[in-house]
A and B are shown apart, each in its own frame.
Chain A
């Protein structure tokens, strides 16, 4: 009985200390952390888009016969292949730690999620590991993309 009372006393003491500590943490870290990570994502994300645009212009200059739509497809394909090879070499994940959303929001992050999931489960075999887990991260994107875009197509059919 007395022991319990002591515990409760300790607990309230701990809580008060935790609260003070949390206040201290909130006061010191978030602002700088938020601003810094926002700036990093902006910088990295903008840079990847810039690489995409330069690549697109390069493709347009190299293959003048190619239509603009196909050049856009080729640009995305090059970015995907580059991101997957960087993932294989272990470089992409190192950069992703700094870049945050700047590294996963562009299409290269989509490719990285696929490749890293399939590599991580290689030890479980090519069928039950790699092939099954390939979509474990990007699955929601594909499922929602197909469902909602099909819906968009069907709605457009109803309109004159």
Chain B
């Protein structure tokens, strides 16, 4: 009973934190009229800075996928990789690390996009 309650609480935190990031982005769109691409870049750089100063791991410990799934987590993963590889391989690692750890997602996104483009035709927008 206690275990399931804790699990539900964890899922609740994931939902609220993940939703809050998206609500902040939506608020930025409405209030500042920034384009979605700019919002994505702002959140990405926020993630890089949070990881760079070492705060992001506390957010992930608290919110799990609620912090990893929004684009802020992608930025944090890039920065984490760059810093980790820089520690091991020096200057060369700083340039490669970010791409190495995010290559899973980027690689499969490119390949699947290509396959889907071959299979499906674009839907006409109504």
Residues of A bordering B, CB below 8 Å: 34, 37-50, 52-56, 72-77, 79-81, 84-85, 87-90, 93, 100-102, 104-111, 114-116, 118-120, 122, 126, 130, 134, 137, 140-142, 144-146, 148-150, 152-157
Contact = CB atoms under 8 A, between A and B. Distances in A.
Given A72-B68, A150-B95, A152-B48, A130 B117 contact: yes
Given A37-B30, A44-B22, A106 B98 contact: no
A72 to B, nearest CB: 6
Central interface residue in B17, B52, B78, by most chain A CB within 10 Å: B78
| Interface SS, B side | helix
Contact of A101 (B39, B73, B118): B39
Contacts of B37: 137, 140-141
Contact of A141 (B23, B71, B94): B71
13 contacts: A48-B18, A49-B69, A50-B14, A55-B65, A77-B108, A81-B112, A84-B109, A106-B69, A107-B105, A140-B38, A144-B45, A145-B74, A146-B98
B26 A148 contact: no
Given A53-B65, A75-B65, A88-B120, 8 more contacts: A41-B25, A56-B64, A79-B69, A84-B109, A85-B112, A88-B119, A101-B25, A122-B121
Contacts of B78: 145-146, 148-149
Interface of B: 10-11, 14-23, 25-30, 36-41, 43-45, 48, 51-52, 64-66, 68-71, 73-75, 78-79, 81-83, 85-87, 90-91, 93-95, 97-99, 102, 104-106, 108-110, 112-114, 116-123, 125
